[in-house]
Structure 1
Amino acid sequence: MTTTRRRFLACTALTAGTGLSLNALAVEQAAPAWPTKPIRIIVPYTPGGSSDIIARALATPLQQALGQTVIVENKPGANGNTGADAVAKANDDHTLLLCDVGALAISASVYKRLPFDPAKDLRGVTMLAYSPHLLVVHPSVKANNLKELVALSQREPLNFAVTAIGSAPHLAGAAVEQATGASWQYIPYKGGSQSIQDTIAGQTQVLMNGMLATLPHVQSGKLKVIGVSKSSRVPLLAQVPTVAEQGVTGFESGTWQGLLVPRNFPAPALQKLSAELTRIIRSPEVRERLVAQGAEVYTMTPQEFSGFFSQQRQTWASVVKKGNISAE
């Protein structure tokens, strides 16, 4: 038997014993590197909100890390579900979703008919940041704390701006309303930036929104802050009591920005993307930029992300049921 023949048989035996084939090995070795073309980050809300701010902060360093153009595309509609559905149905391995994970977890409870299943059709890559909600009012509103705001809402009509029916800020407002006896009329928008602008203009009087997008308007005096929806006070607003301190024991809410991909996204690409995003978001330049605006860098592994998503679905489902909240 020739040396070449013996080597061939030895290789065949080895691959048979390990359950592999020469064809499989060849395919594995020939698998293309990722990414191979420009990447789209879909933000399913209007420009200027928390998710949009974070997506644009990540785009350039991610482009440098991966060697491909990274494009941020705003695709608002149906409380983020329009953009999320587009990503869930994408099959090019280069379309990503950056959104409020809490809002995505809420959708299954609020919407009677969704064209996709967030838990089955999308996979979490990593959490990126957490921004507590700020409960704010137009400066003309004659209330300086939660107790005064609740009393005022019981005497006269107050319009409460929310990013959308069934959004995380909407359910946070509903939870406060249920706990305090407040009464306000919810006015839905297509994104956080528009709800902020209308509250600044006085067309709505009350707003619950992520600190990352809302803090600059508090600092400029265009909005008056009533409370922070975090378990402890935040350094940037150390003088402002939390909602929990003002009588809603244990209350905490906020926006959790995370990145997701379609369910069939290749595992090696997912791990690479998770590692790069975690490194970038934790880098001093990006972290300091976000912290200065009121967001906390908060990363998770894909497995931790899945657990968090499941917990959020359960938490907010009870608020949706109690508040009888639904949307088409």
Structure 2
Amino acid sequence: MSLVPSLAAAQDGYPSKPIRYIVPFPPGGLTDVMARLIAQSTGMAIKQSVLVDNRAGASANLGADLAAKSSPDGYTWLAITLAHAVNQSLFANLPYSLEKSLAPVAHLATSPLVLVVNESNPARSVADLLVQAQAKRLNCGSSGNGTPPHLGMELFALNAKIEVSHIPYKGGAPSLNDLLGSQLDFIVSNLPESSTYVKAGKLRALAVTSARRHPLLPDVPTFAEAGLPGVELENWTGLMMPAGTPKAVIDRVSAEAIKAVTSKEISERVGAMGFTSTGLGPAEFGELIKKDVARWREIVKARNIQTG
């Protein structure tokens, strides 16, 4: 009991030094953009610097493992996506457990994916792209094995009954660069990462993976409208800390992160990029993680999705 006052005092003094916000993807991608917005806004609210630390590699597991093994003192934050829920079944010997090694803090936003091709590609629809796929095996890039773009590609290929050569990259931005350079045939990309290029006319969007058309791309049909109703998928991004972090610290950071992401300024700003702000707290976020880990365990097994 003598430790309680000192623990409370330590939490009352939080944060007393800069915070590291690990992003397990390269700069410029969906997760990085959202993390930097939250770092800036939340850092101002708690009156401390929140420094983004990009640690890409190992299909986003490198940064996640680094965070999971960090001290549970509130000074290490981790940006995660749907990819981390999928990785729990995609990799047999992960050095960390998403549900046991890390604690949910806040679910921040969701976004659909969009099938995009280079503007020089003659395909004007999903049907056109499928004609190309009958003539040759298409190359598709993704932000890494097991990431939402990879899963979107797998769902598309399965429902369309085509064979695709998957080329994983260390993030969405590098894969888009190769699509822009016509080194890839298509990508099922995170919408916030590719919408700017679509609007600029450098890429052409053929279908979105959401249940309804997206307001940023109102003329682009859903996959269901394009004749492939099984291709439905939305990515999400959230914030976690090492398991064992004091509840008071988690609750404070959660409240500030949710306040930031659901504010009019940020929700409108990220909405313009393709995100929909959610702002779920630790309990709701924890339940969402459990459901997605279970859902994708079944899909990975049923569809034999491989890491290589």
Match of 1:290 in 2: 270
1:121 to 72, 89, 101: 101
Matched, 1:278 2:237: no
2:18 to 13, 20, 38: 38
Is the CA contact 1:49–1:192 (under 8 Å) kept in the aligned structure 2? yes
2:78 to 77, 94, 97: 97
Question: Structure 2 matches for 1:14-53, cutoff 5 A?
Answer: 23=2, 26-27=5-6, 29-32=8-11, 33-53=13-33
Q: For 1:292 and 1:65, how far apart are their aligned partners in 2?
A: 24
Matched, 1:83 2:63: yes
Match of 1:16 in 2: none
2:192 to 212, 216, 219: 212
* Cα distance change, pair 268–203 in 1 and its aligned pair in 2 (3 A): same
Where structure 2 has 5 or more consecutive residues not aligned to the other structure, the ranges are none
More helix by share: 1
Larger Rg: 1
Matched, 1:67 2:47: yes
1:143 partner letter: A
Give per-residue Cα distances to partners, 1:264-294, cap 9 Å, x unaligned.
Answer: 1110000000000000111111111111111
Match of 2:206 in 1: 226
Q: For 2:166 and 2:159, how far apart are their aligned partners in 1?
A: 16
Percentage of identical aligned residues? 35
* Equivalent position SS for 1:221: coil
Match of 2:125 in 1: 145
Is the CA contact 2:74–2:250 (under 8 Å) kept in the aligned structure 1? no
Is the CA contact 1:150–1:181 (under 8 Å) kept in the aligned structure 2? no
Give per-residue Cα distances to partners, 1:192-245, cap 9 Å, x unaligned.
Answer: 010111111111111011111110011111111010110001111111101121
Q: For 2:18 and 2:5, how far apart are their aligned partners in 1?
A: 27
> How many residues are treated as equivalent by the alignment?
306
1:253 partner letter: L
Q: For 1:138 and 1:319, how far apart are their aligned partners in 2?
A: 30
1:165 partner letter: N
Where structure 1 has 5 or more consecutive residues not aligned to the other structure, the ranges are 1-20
Match of 1:110 in 2: 90
Is the CA contact 1:80–1:104 (under 8 Å) kept in the aligned structure 2? yes
* Cα distance change, pair 281–116 in 1 and its aligned pair in 2 (3 A): same
1:236 to 216, 229, 241: 216
Is the CA contact 1:44–1:84 (under 8 Å) kept in the aligned structure 2? yes
C-alpha RMSD of the superposition: 1.5
Match of 2:247 in 1: 267
1:54 to 13, 28, 34: 34
Q: Normalized against structure 1, the TM-score is what?
A: 0.89
Q: For 1:299 and 1:313, how far apart are their aligned partners in 2?
A: 20
Is the CA contact 1:138–1:205 (under 8 Å) kept in the aligned structure 2? yes
* Equivalent position SS for 2:279: coil
User: How many angstroms does 1:28 deviate by?
Assistant: 5.2
User: How many angstroms does 1:319 deviate by?
Assistant: 2.6
| Deviation beyond 3 Å, 4+ runs, structure 1 | 24-32
